[in-house]
Amino acid sequence: MSTEGVKIIAKNKQAYHLYDVKDKYEAGIELVGTEVKSVRGGKVNLKDSWVSIDDGEAFVKGMHISPYEMGNIFNKDPLRKRKLLLHKQEINKLHFEVMKEGYSLVPLSLYFKKSKIKLEFALAKGKKLYDKREAAAKKDSQRDMDRAVKENAKY
C-alpha cells in the first residue's frame, strides 16, 4: 500500500497479535450511501471481522459500521456482509490457498485511497499460544533495550 493520498479510517491492531501474516491484498468495498457517511465519520470497527469466499465472490463479514444518525430508513444492518471488489483470478487464488493450506483471510485496515474506500486484508495463519508469548517477550525485551539506550544517551 503506497502512502500517497491515503487516509486510514480504521485498523485491526489485534490481527497482528493473533495471526502470522503471509500476504496482504487490497480490495474495493461495496457500500451504500449512509454507510459511506458513517465511514467518513470514522464509525467502523474491524475487530471481529473476517473475509470469506462464497460462490466465487469475496465478502467481508462481521465488520461493524455504525448507522448514520441522519440516515433514517436508508440505514442498513451494521453487521451485514459487504461484497469486496476483486478480480476473479484473485478470488480463485485466495479460495485455493484458504482451502488447501488452512489459512484465514483477516481484515487489517480500512482506508481512503484518493476518493475510494479500500480494505486491506491478509492471508494469515493463526498463531499458537506459545507463539503469542514469544512475540510478547521479544517486544518487551526490545522495549527494555530501547529504554536502556535512551538512559545511557542522557549521560
Domain range enclosing 45: 6-127
Asked if the structure places residue 45 within a domain, the reply is: yes
The number of folded domains in the chain is 1
Asked if the structure places residue 155 within a domain, the reply is: no
Q: pTM of the predicted model, to two decimals?
A: 0.75
Asked if the structure places residue 133 within a domain, the reply is: no
pLDDT at 59 over 90: yes
Asked if the structure places residue 68 within a domain, the reply is: yes
List the grid coordinates of 61: 463479514
CA distance 99 to 137: 32
Lowest mean pLDDT among 25-29, 75-79, 124-128: 75-79
Asked if the structure places residue 148 within a domain, the reply is: no
Asked if the structure places residue 27 within a domain, the reply is: yes
One-letter amino acid for residue 93 of the chain: K
* DSSP for residue 128: P
Q: Which residues contact 61 (CB under 8 A, 6 or more apart)?
A: 49, 50, 51, 52, 79, 81
What's the pLDDT at 87?
A: 93
Asked if the structure places residue 29 within a domain, the reply is: yes
Residue 63's CATH number: 2.40.280.10
Burial of 44 (0-12, 13-18, 19+ CB in 10 A): buried
- Tell me how long the chain is: 155
What's the pLDDT at 5?
A: 74
Q: What percent of the chain has pLDDT over 90?
A: 19
